[in-house]
């Protein structure tokens, strides 16, 4: 069996699998959250994660322990001053 013939057979199989999945998903009695959909190897809607992520909040104590060395900038005179300074 040649590679092109094999690839063609795999593509046909993939197309058939997609058509069967779409049929089960779109059927009134089944749908994308039915156990049969899961038995076919797909992830049901109820098992799918939302994808929502949130930033981890840093604790105040961690900020204090790290100090402010990374938060300093140079003033126009060349001396260091904190970035949170009102003037500058």
Over 70: is that where the pLDDT of 43 sits?
yes
Over 80: is that where the pLDDT of 81 sits?
no
Q: What pLDDT does residue 79 have?
A: 59
Q: What residues contact residue 54 under an 8 Å CB cut-off, 6+ apart? A: none
End-to-end CA distance of the chain: 76
Percent of the chain whose pLDDT exceeds 70: 66
29-40 pLDDT tens trace: 888 888 888 888
The encoded tokens of residue 22 equal: 């779409």
Q: What is the DSSP annotation of 56-85?
A: PPPPHHHHHHH-SGGGEEE-TTS-EEETT-
Q: What pLDDT does residue 78 have?
A: 59
For the whole prediction, is pTM greater than 0.85? no
Q: Residue 64's pLDDT band (boundaries 50, 70, 90)?
A: low
Element (H, E) at 12: helix 3-26
């Amino acid at each position: 069996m040649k590679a092109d013939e094999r690839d063609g057979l795999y593509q046909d199989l993939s197309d058939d699998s997609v058509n069967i999945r779409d049929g089960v998903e779109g059927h009134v009695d089944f749908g994308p959250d039915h156990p049969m959909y899961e038995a076919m190897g797909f992830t049901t809607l109820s098992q799918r994660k939302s994808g929502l992520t949130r930033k981890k909040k840093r604790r105040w104590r961690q900020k204090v322990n790290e100090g402010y060395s990374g938060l300093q900038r140079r003033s126009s005179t060349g001396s260091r001053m904190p970035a949170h300074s009102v003037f500058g």
